[in-house]
Amino acid sequence: MKIVVLDGYAANPGDLSWEGLEALGQCVVYPRTSANELLERAADAEILLTNKVIINKEAMEALPQLKYIGVLATGYNVVDVEAARERGIVVTNIPAYSTPSVAQMVFAHVLNITQRVGHYADEARQGVWTACQDFSYSNTPLWELQGKKIGIVGLGNTGYNTARIAIGFGMKVYAYTSKSRLQLPPEIRKVELDELFATCDIVSLHCPLTADTHHLVNESRLKLMKPTAILINTGRGPLVDEQALADALNNDTIYAAGVDVLSTEPPTANNPLLSAKNCFITPHIAWATKEARQRLLQIACDNVEQFIKNKPINVVSK
């Protein structure tokens, strides 16, 4: 059985092994594949693995050998699942592999904004502290997290892990979630979305991207927030109206934002967040710790193995 990995570099830039997949069949791994290269590279494959290469109905029609598509991510919008279902092609994803890493990144952004460790390390290196008249030097606001209110939009695996970390910091946790109050631990208070934005010092986005959540963070919702508030987005870029957020930051409507995802990736040079005041951007790396990528590859291998055994798991094309 021929297995083709279309864009394996992001998950494994060379520090991990593909031997698990190689043990399951004839395996070819491409670091990247353009749309023009897709059909030639996938021509005789029965199993395709993709991260960001789009596999639409037309591609499936041109690949009669194709029986299985494994998405090397949790989100699977790169595949036309309905077309796959119609053709009897099994589509799987990789659920929950990056949960601890993404929750960790939320607080990497929170701590960077509230304590600015990188900024002060640079200041010290440049001699600013050496030239200071006092034993202690600061030129930004410094926050203590204990007692602050954090609002979590979406209380799935990552949202819940983020809540647990926040509780450890002594924060008051609010959540907008479909779960009932009875399903929540006493440390998490369920609230409506607008109340969450108006009440919380920090808002962290963890909901899926749907038609209803597209631009969930918009001009009107940003105006509900405190001028000292922080927005964190490690979910999906289009959850946020980026121009509205840039305006809110530049106009001091809110204090700061930490984002790991943008609406277009890599971003265009004119993305307004790239130059917005107090906007701290990481290049979609919350998922990319070595440990998370190891889990991803292991689950991908398990998915393929179980498909070959006619016992598919993590199927999203039912």
Q: Looking at the structure, do residues 108 and 38 belong to the same domain, yes or no?
A: no
pLDDT less than 50: residues of the chain: none
Integer-rounded Cα Rg, in Å, for the chain is 22
188 and 224 in a single domain? The answer is yes
Whether residue 316 is contained in a domain is answered as no
**CATH number reported for the structural domain that contains residue 86 in this entry:** 3.40.50.720
Q: What is the pLDDT of residue 138?
A: 97
User: What pLDDT shows up at residue 154?
Assistant: 98
Quick one: 220 and 170 in the same domain?
yes
pLDDT of residue 91: 98
* One domain, residues 80 and 103: no
pLDDT of residue 146: 98
Domain housing 70: 2-97+290-308
221 and 111 assigned to the same domain: yes
Does residue 142 sit within a domain?
Answer: yes
What's the pLDDT score for residue 35? 96
- What is the structure's pLDDT at 274? 98
Number of domains the chain is built from: 2
Same domain for 132 and 239: yes
Answer whether residue 318 is part of any domain: no
Instruction: Please check whether residue 182 lies inside any domain of the structure.
Output: yes
User: Can you read off the two tokens belonging to residue 16?
Assistant: 């991990």
Residues 68 and 122 in one domain: no
Structural domain contains residue 315: no
In a shared domain, residues 107 and 223: yes
- The number of C-alpha atoms within 13 Å of 46 and in the hemisphere containing its C-beta is 8
Residue 26 lies in a domain: yes
User: What pLDDT score was predicted for residue 130?
Assistant: 97
Res 190: pLDDT: 98
Q: Are residues 46 and 187 in the same domain?
A: no
Tell whether 232 and 158 lie within a shared domain. Answer: yes
Tens digit of each residue's pLDDT (9 = 90 or more) over 162-184: 999 999 999 999 999 999 999 99
Residues ≥6 apart with Cβ < 8 Å to 110: 145, 202, 230, 232, 258
The Cα–Cα gap between 172 and 146 comes to 8
Residue 107 and residue 69 share a domain: no
d(CA 42, CA 69): 11
Do 87 and 106 sit in the same domain of this protein? no
Q: Outline where DSSP puts E strands in 135-278.
A: 149-153, 172-176, 188-190, 202-205, 230-233, 256-259
Q: Which pLDDT score is estimated for 300?
A: 98
Question: Which pLDDT score is estimated for 40?
Answer: 97
CA distances from 30 to 38, 41, 162, 186, 283 (A): 11, 9, 34, 48, 22
Phi, psi angles (nearest 5°) of residue 78: -75, -10
Question: Is residue 218, in this structure, part of any structural domain at all?
Answer: yes
Catalytic positions: 236, 265, 284
